Amino acid sequence: MKVLCPVINHCISISECEKLLIDFRKFRPYQRKDIYENKKFTHVDESGLPKMVDVSGKAVTLRTAKAQAVIDVGDEILGHIKNEELVTKKGPVFQTAIIAGVLGAKRTAELIPFCHPVGLDDCQVKIHVKQKKIIVDAQAVVQAKTGVEMEALTAASIAALTIYDMCKALSHDITIENIRLMEKTGGKKDCKRK
């Protein structure tokens, strides 16, 4: 099984990714090129300085990405959910988080320095409860030269943070446990997390 490794931003085996993560914590990538073979950080130039990736030579393709955030709000807050919505004094939590997630996805390039601004063709955020946890699923779609992984991850993150913000008056024992890319298509390599 292959996963999207955050160290090199490419799909590789779990064992390869674990090795890179361990090595990355010890050495900067431009100091230990031997451990990365032909892989390199896309946002670091040869001298180790940050840079934006030049996508001018790439073809426009349909790019999709799905991301997920998991929030543990505890039994007390879950007990307030009625008709698949959680309403607090601040308003409907899930509806507000969906709107915030989409707005966040649209502003990703303003938040992440080397993220290319893309005009999203679609962004969907869905929220449900599973096994006593709130699950945020976000999907971003664009016809572009670059992917929308960061937009999907931002949508899931901002929606999760909105849920935290709107529920914190009820409890501060809320944990955003997991924000991760679930799937990406349309680039050099497709990737899907099981």
> Could you list the active site residues?
165
Q: What are phi and psi of 96, to 5 degrees?
A: -65, -40
Q: How many residues does the chain have?
A: 194
CA–CA dist 146, 86 (Å, integer): 36
Q: Give residue 94's region: left, alpha or beta (phi > 0; psi -120 to 50).
A: alpha
Cα–Cα distance for residue pair 98/86, rounded to 1 Å: 13
Are 8 and 20 contacting, i.e. CB atoms less than 8 angstroms apart?
yes
Give CA–CA dist 32/19, Å, rounded: 13
Q: What is the DSSP string of 92-127?
A: EHHHHHHHHHHHHHHTHHHHSTTPPP---SEEEEEE
Looking up tokens 């929030």 gives 71
Q: Amino acid letter at 113?
A: P
